[in-house]
Structure 1
Amino acid sequence: MTGDDIGSLIYLVLLGAVLFVWYIVQSRAGLGRTLQQAAAWGLIFLGTIAAVGLWGDIRQDVMPSQSVIAEDGRVELPQAPDGHYYVTLEVNGTPVRFMVDTGASGTVLTRRDAERAGLAEDDLVYYSEAMTANGPVRTAPVRLDSVALGPFVDANVPAYVNEGEMAQSLLGMSYLQRFDRLEITRGQLVLER
């Protein structure tokens, strides 16, 4: 819990205490009923706080995740609620989450993901350019020592690091073409080798 979270919690507790005291003062005649209602609202308040605090864990359990069926040489990626497909690859031994982008010719890493995968910012030279929906951006061509998706391990994979701000790394056709089959069926993206 961060300092901002603790401050927000203290604020909410104080606000709740003030509302509780006001409610008790306003309804002194039916104190038993007032306490019952206050207890019910308190439980609702605590339940809401618990749900917000546990949302990340709940979402991971409810959302379907990628499945790798090694013996069939197949990977199945479920469609996310936003309509895109996401996959986690091991890039140089580091898990990196990508949005699958069949419209992108190259695989593009965010600067943060590139740094996590061992590509030092000082070693990157942004001399190439890519066209995006927001216009041109400078990119640094790189070679990834290893890229693994389940049992599929590829070495010396070409990619780019985007100099601009990007919310998510993109998995483009330069990597996807390594698969024999790419199919979207029944809300799943299926990759086969």
Structure 2
Amino acid sequence: MTEDQNINLVFAIGALVLVASALFSRRIGLGEIVRTALAWVAIFGLFIVGFSYKQEILAVWSRVSGELNGSHDQVVVGETLRIRQSADGHFWVDAKVNATPVRFLIDSGATTTAMALRTAQAADIDISSSPFPVVLSTANGSVEAQRGVIQSIQVGPLKMQDLPVVVAEEFGDANVIGMNFLSKLGSWRVAEGEMVLEPATPDNQ
């Protein structure tokens, strides 16, 4: 058992002792004492189980509530974001770029986060006016893009400042979160149809 579980067990036993003392101090039948004691044992048992598995319970609750409100593809558990794989095999996420809602595809094969020109303009992205564009190789051929900076991006509970981005009209409506975002996280992984994103901590920043 973990240290927290041991503390919870000691607390529960102490509480049960107090309840038992109170029951025996009253002049009631043995049958009622047993029923009451069993009820308190069940209550404290549920408390210990709930506390021990609080993260799992929160994950289930978040998923159920997500199904009810229609945002079931991403679930927040504490400071961790879980993203369910879409029917197209990709991982999509709703983010806020400078407080503007933007739908992103998460692509670990993309080096840099990329945004469509009109989406970047709507989010007031600081786009470079350099006459020398960046040439990118895409599935549809080479694309000339401008460099920019996302002043603030929030994906679920995860927040970053001053994230480099490339912007091009040729991206159409496509917006992609790349490795320059993922690499700044504490960790990220894909398992059992979910992508799990965890924030950086002082130890891994």
Gaps of 5+ in 1: 1-58
| In structure 1, C-alpha distance between the alignment counterparts of 2:192 and 2:80, rounded to whole Å | 16
Query: 1:65: which partner in 2?
Result: 73
Query: 1:176: which partner in 2?
Result: 182
Query: 2:81: which partner in 1?
Result: 75
Residues 85-120 of structure 1, C-alpha deviations (whole Å, 9 max, x = no match): 001111111111100111000000011210220138
Map of 1:80-119 to 2, 5 A cutoff? 80-119=86-125
Regions of 4+ moved over 3 Å: 59-63, 119-126
Q: CA deviation at 1:60?
A: 9.1
Map of 1:7-86 to 2, 5 A cutoff? 64-69=72-77, 71=78, 73-86=79-92
| In structure 2, C-alpha distance between the alignment counterparts of 1:163 and 1:138, rounded to whole Å | 9
2:150 equivalent among 144, 152, 156: 144
Question: TM-score, normalized by length of structure 1?
Answer: 0.62
Query: 2:196: which partner in 1?
Result: 190
| In structure 1, C-alpha distance between the alignment counterparts of 2:185 and 2:191, rounded to whole Å | 16
Query: 1:27: which partner in 2?
Result: none
Map of 1:158-177 to 2, 5 A cutoff? 158-177=164-183
Aligned length: 133
Query: 1:48: which partner in 2?
Result: none
Gaps of 5+ in 2: 1-66, 200-205
8 Å CA contact 1:67–1:77 kept in 2: the answer is: yes
Question: TM-score, normalized by length of structure 2?
Answer: 0.58
Q: CA deviation at 1:154?
A: 1.2
1:156 equivalent among 142, 158, 162: 162
Residues 108-167 of structure 1, C-alpha deviations (whole Å, 9 max, x = no match): 001121022013889586611111111110111001111112332211110110231433
Instruction: Compute the RMSD of aligned alpha carbons.
Output: 2.5
Do the aligned partners of residues 62 and 163 (structure 1) sit closer, same or farther apart at CA in structure 2, a change above 3 Å counting?
closer
| In structure 2, C-alpha distance between the alignment counterparts of 1:88 and 1:99, rounded to whole Å | 9
Once the two structures are aligned, what percentage of the paired residues are identical? 29
Do the aligned partners of residues 122 and 131 (structure 1) sit closer, same or farther apart at CA in structure 2, a change above 3 Å counting?
closer
